[in-house]
Chain A
């Protein structure tokens, strides 16, 4: 084919586009997020469920809470070890994790998730 020039240009564009992650990060190592605990959370020492479980399943718990509260009117949640919690996003999670920006958002920014919950639910302004 006498279009070799065009094909080479096409290949260069292909390689440039498909290697996007490699040049976008330009080889800089990134730090995994370390969510900070508030004094209150530190004192409580334990989350609603086991930490490893929370890391993977906290959205599932919130989904469950939302359904049981809004649909069934049940506001009590009993965790695996029998401890009782009020099933509430702002009054339970954000009571311990009142530092939303330094806790929830640290992970969420890293994983590029932007929960729409805060359109309606509230969280306290960060105070130093």
Chain B
């Protein structure tokens, strides 16, 4: 079995221990101020740079993945979203892709049923992915409560909805549990399914372990090994308002592990597969209308070719063609 996940697991554990040790020996300012600021800087510069790099790549031809009937003769029913020919169609297609992961929804698995080959519709990956991504989104929005003062309405409203189960005190946030659950299921999928395992590399596991590490440390701090949340907000508000400082006691080393993991994740995004966050908007297989047969797309780097059209050809040889009884278009 492919065990590259062990390297990623080991890397995450070592990184966590480094932050823990750092906080214990008094390097709070490094892990609580310097590294988070650097991470945010790397994130923005790296992200913008990557997108600009992609923007430079020429796309001379429409390479849309077509998932339905192309627009053609009037009596053949076209599929305007799965094979869009208009900008509106493309926008709807992109929204469905980004918000509902439509292409994952169509996932099929090929299997041999005795002699016959079968294609089975398999929804698990879509389900785990939706669960994971939306939980992550809610968790990120909720965390804004640590970075803004006063806390705007939409954040408190989200907290109320997320905590509606009212289990325990502090109340359970559903998104925290589903984030950890989703990430764990996605990890198990990579480890346990032989075909997926075969194509998985350390770079596939690392972000999963990192996110699981973030979720675990966060859940520990909220429900089990408490930190002083007011002190934590003092620190994070210092970062967000550019008046950084480290509050005296109350913020445990576990918090610095959490913050270090988050800093790593944020800084890692532009250089990894996590860049699909920006990339999904720029996938030429999705964001282009399939109008290859309606519009002429000229390759911008084509060399100038000297052409000789049929009209010009006929012009040159009309008399000779008539003599040889070859039909001509113009008399």
Contact = CB atoms under 8 A, between A and B. Distances in A.
Interface in A48-62: 52, 55-57, 59-60, 62
A17 to B, nearest CB: 11
Contacts of B238: 29
Contacts of B155: 112
Interface in B145-179: 145, 147-152, 155-156, 159-160, 166, 168-170
Nearest to A25: B241
Range class of the B interface residue count? 35 or more
B144 interface: yes
A60 B169 contact: yes
Interface string B119-136: 000000000000000000
B230 interface: yes
Nearest to A107: B230
Contacts of B59: 1
Contacts of A109: 150-151
A32 interface: yes
A56 B267 CA distance: 31
B227 A56 contact: yes
Contacts of B250: 52, 55-56
Interface string B20-56: 0000000000000000000000001001100110111
Given A29-B243, A111-B233, A114-B156, A1 B57 contact: yes
A51 B212 CA distance: 32
Interface stretch (A3-11, A36-44, A91-99): A3-11
Contact of B169 (A29, A62, A114): A62
B282 interface: yes
A20 to B, nearest CB: 7
A116 interface: yes
Contact of B147 (A10, A21, A59, A113): A21
A112 B170 CA distance: 12
Nearest to B166: A116
Nearest to B247: A32
B58 interface: yes
B240 A21 contact: yes
A101 to B, nearest CB: 16
Interface string B228-250: 11110110011011110001011
16 contacts: A7-B54, A11-B51, A20-B144, A21-B148, A21-B240, A24-B152, A30-B149, A56-B226, A56-B229, A57-B226, A59-B169, A60-B226, A63-B169, A110-B233, A111-B145, A112-B155
Interface of A: 1, 3-4, 7-8, 10-11, 14-15, 18-22, 24-25, 27-30, 32-33, 52, 55-57, 59-60, 62-63, 107, 109-114, 116
